[in-house]
Amino acid sequence: MKKAWFCFWSVFLVILSGFFFLIWDYWQQGSKQEGEMAKAAFTAYTAKWKQQQFSDMYEQLSLDAKAKVSKEEFVSRYENIYSGIEATHISVEPLYNEDVVPGEDGKISFHYRLSVQTFGEPISFTGKAILVKETQNDKQDWYINWNPSFLLPELEHGDKLRVNTFRPKRGEVLDRAGRRVAVTSRQSAANQGL
């Protein structure tokens, strides 16, 4: 009789532990699927970013981000800044160091590297993207919790960006003997005849 109870409890514990393993595995797979869906949403967002489709980018913002910036303000801000710095060759590369899974707060965050060629020097920095799962227009998906640091790392709500260009002052060019060959001053030209 003792053997029968021992066998019963052994089988019961094996079945119970298998059941808990299946639940844990299902939960892990669900988290990974959410991560893949968030990656897909960010990939779609960055594709629009590279093409400078700012109006379409706005549609992928979270409700919190949309409450802070209107569509017109969002689009005009990107257009003004990117045209002001003559932005070309926009590259946005997500940096996934490990599995992308929702945190305890239900949000997914990871870093990305933005590189933009400008009329001057290229701009390159690493930013942090936070995605939240929301329902918008009867569609549940992952949305970007946008803030102005997506444009430039130091930029905050309400900040203004100004680009000033100036002509550099030319230095003097001297020959080996120390005589001026090219100078900064203005001189009048005179016609000399032979």
Share of the chain above pLDDT 90, in %: 24
Q: Is residue 109 assigned to a domain? A: yes
Enumerate residues 6+ apart whose C-beta is below 8 A from 38. Answer: 100, 108, 131, 133, 142
* Structural domain boundaries enclosing 116: 22-156
3-state SS assignment for residue 131? strand
The model's pLDDT over 33-56, given as tens digits with 9 standing for 90+, comes to 888 888 889 899 999 999 999 999
Structural contact between residues 44 and 131, judged by C-beta atoms closer than 8 angstroms:
no
Residue 108 included in any domain? yes
Identify whether the C-beta of residue 60 lies closer than 8 Å to the C-beta of residue 143: yes
Q: Answer yes or no: is pLDDT of 133 > 60.
A: yes
Q: What type of residue is 70?
A: S
Give 141-190 pLDDT, tens digit per residue: 999 999 888 888 887 877 777 767 777 777 788 888 888 887 776 655 54
Question: What dihedral angle (degrees, nearest 10) is formed by the CA atoms of 153, 154, 158, 160?
Answer: -100
Tell me what pLDDT residue 194 has.
Answer: 39
Structure confidence at residue 191 (pLDDT): 45
* CATH number of the CATH domain containing 82: 3.10.450.100
Please choose, from the candidates 96, 94, 113, 92, the residue with its C-alpha nearest in 3D space to the C-alpha of residue 50: 92
User: Is residue 57 situated within a structural domain?
Assistant: yes
What is the C-alpha to C-alpha distance for residues 185 and 148, in angstroms, rounded to an integer? 44
Residue 124 lies in a domain: yes
Residue 67 belongs to a domain: yes
Q: Average per-residue pLDDT in the chain?
A: 80
Q: What is the pLDDT of residue 190?
A: 47
* Inside any domain, residue 15: no
Whether the predicted pLDDT of 92 surpasses 70: yes
